Homo-oligomer: A and B are copies of this chain.
């Protein structure tokens, strides 16, 4: 085991994860290295498939490749994942972080498997019973961090409170928001509405005003209006909200395109409106917001969308890079521990 320094940021990549692996992973790695030349990578996966692609990128010559023929499939069942186990490209990439051979790992593979292996090998932070998946999205005024996005389909009130604590720490440290406003996703803003465990979590969060800047309930239509910096939900609801937002954005963008294709005048209009539409497209590009962080682990694990391209994958690497470079994990662990200790005393 070598000692890790921050002169070189070492990232483990699950080269076999995602719809177009290993091509997109390697292309994305090269793009990210152009932006952050102090990265080096270890690719995990089938050497025969990886090496020929790596060779075509000049800036990847200092990278390692650890060979394995085992990998987790996108639709693998949990039982299969456990059987294929520790020697899959995904598991090896995680173990490299556990063994301090890499600062962080990025995978575009099966989310459930990535969470299971991450919990197994990296273990959960002190005070946190379950890790959560968190990601940032654009809003009217900036960005919002939402969690959990699918790691824990069902949650009790304690899970939700722990997510609130981690989400607040994340928004504070990574997004640079001094006093992040934290909300719980619900079907109404009134205290009497919603599911019991969400109402109980809300009551407790109001009592924790010394450690949490809790804003109360938020409805789905307010997630992107800039009224909250952190939106907390169980993994089922968070995932449905995230996917529905993605689908709505796609639908609207396609409808807009069709509107511009309807007549000669609107095609002409498109030419004049191109710059505005381009700025819209760039601002809303989901690839820009690719890279979800697994919060609550003793290590940095970032999940890329499985269907993204190299630009999107490079952005997921960028998220991991920032987490390492600015030493977010330690600060996050300290802030989280302080809050969960307070919580234990208070409740």
A254: Cβ under 8 A from any B Cβ: yes
Which of the residues B190, B220, B251, B272 comes within 8 Å of A242, measured between beta carbons?
A: B220
Given known contacts A236-B195, A244-B241, is B268 in contact with A250 (CB within 8 Å)? no
Which residue of chain B lies nearest to A153 when distances are taken between CB atoms in the complex? Answer: B195
Which of the residues B240, B262, B283 comes within 8 Å of A255, measured between beta carbons?
A: B283
Copies in the complex: 2
When the two chains form their complex, are residues A260 and B245 in contact, meaning their CB atoms are under 8 A apart?
no
Main secondary structure of the interface of A (DSSP, over half): helix
Which of A52-60, A168-176, A201-209, A222-230 binds B? A222-230
A273: Cβ under 8 A from any B Cβ: yes
A221: Cβ under 8 A from any B Cβ: yes
When distances are taken between beta carbons in the complex, the residues of chain B under 8 Å from A153 are: 187, 194-195
When the two chains form their complex, are residues A275 and B269 in contact, meaning their CB atoms are under 8 A apart?
yes
A1: Cβ under 8 A from any B Cβ: no
When distances are taken between beta carbons in the complex, the residues of chain B under 8 Å from A139 are: 251
A5: Cβ under 8 A from any B Cβ: no
When distances are taken between beta carbons in the complex, the residues of chain B under 8 Å from A236 are: 187, 194-195, 237
When the two chains form their complex, are residues A77 and B187 in contact, meaning their CB atoms are under 8 A apart?
no
When distances are taken between beta carbons in the complex, the residues of chain B under 8 Å from A262 are: 276, 279
Quick one: CB contact mask for A262-291 with B, threshold 8 Å, 1 for yes? 110110111111111101100110000000
Given known contacts A140-B254, A240-B237, A249-B248, is B275 in contact with A272 (CB within 8 Å)? no
When the two chains form their complex, are residues B224 and A247 in contact, meaning their CB atoms are under 8 A apart?
yes
Given known contacts A244-B244, A256-B280, is B239 in contact with A237 (CB within 8 Å)? no
A219: Cβ under 8 A from any B Cβ: yes
Bound state CA distance, A140 and B270, in angstroms? 20
When the two chains form their complex, are residues A273 and B272 in contact, meaning their CB atoms are under 8 A apart?
yes
Given known contacts A139-B251, A153-B195, A259-B283, is B270 in contact with A266 (CB within 8 Å)? no
Which residue of chain B lies nearest to A240 when distances are taken between CB atoms in the complex? Answer: B220
**A contact residues vs B (CB 8 Å cutoff):** 75, 77-78, 112, 138-140, 150, 153-154, 185, 187, 190, 192-195, 219-225, 233, 235-237, 239-256, 259-260, 262-263, 265-266, 268-277, 279-280, 283-284
